[in-house]
Amino acid sequence: MGIETNFGTYVGKMDILSSLATLSFDKRRSEFFTNELLILLKLVDSNQIDHKTLYGSWAGAFGFFQFMPSTIKNHAIDFNKDNHIDLKNSFDAFASAANYLSNMGWKKNSHCFYKIDLNSDIPKKFLNVSAKKIINKKKLKYFKKFIKDYENLGPIDENLNVGIITPDKDIIPGAETLTPAYIVFDNYEKILKWNRSLRFALAVCTLKDNFKNAL
């Protein structure tokens, strides 16, 4: 919510129906946005959403967590039982975001990522710089020999399938290949389904880790 809308303080002012209609006409992603427009019209027609509230991003995203219409259809909840899904209402918005994470397979109390210090002999093919897909994953015990500070990671199941990301490489001029580096787990990849950005997922997981001792 913090990343998407500055904790709900800026949810966008564009007329979402107009935005989606315009983007549907654009041939670059016409099929995707046409489908999103039709889904939204059906949600309005079935009175699940009040069309008067539909102001958000230029790309058709809506509410505190910036849900696209297909995400609203599949994961949003009328948590306060007022017969409308209002993602600018904290009750519906937080319940819908939690339901979305749960449906994606988020595992409570499971690992998200650890920052690591890599040896220079790690094969470069294991270093992911793209958020499209984490490739060349292996069991954690395979990577053990490449991680200098492995003993500082704490108790972790070494049979877990993990990947390694080096998000600054090829993005920040002069960034070192091996620094910073992170070992990422299934929960991290669930966040990537929400937003395909290595930094987005790192930010969300960092906040999650800082919350765990405060709740």
- With beta carbons less than 8 A apart as the criterion, state whether 2 and 65 touch: no
Token pair 């704490």: residue? 154
Question: In this structure, how many other beta carbons lie within 10 angstroms of the beta carbon of residue 135?
Answer: 10
- Side chain identity at residue 178, one-letter code: L
Contacts of 151 (CB under 8 A, 6+ apart): none
Instruction: Read off the DSSP letter of residue 118.
Output: B
- Side chain identity at residue 202, one-letter code: L
The span from the CA of 125 to the CA of 136, in Å, is: 7
The span from the CA of 40 to the CA of 50, in Å, is: 11
Active-site option among 4, 36, 151, 158: 4
The set of long-range contacts for 4-7, using a CB threshold of 8 Å and a minimum separation of 24, is: 4/61, 4/64, 4/65, 4/66, 5/63, 5/64, 5/65, 5/66, 7/64
Does residue 36 carry a catalytic annotation? no
Active site (catalytic) residues: 4
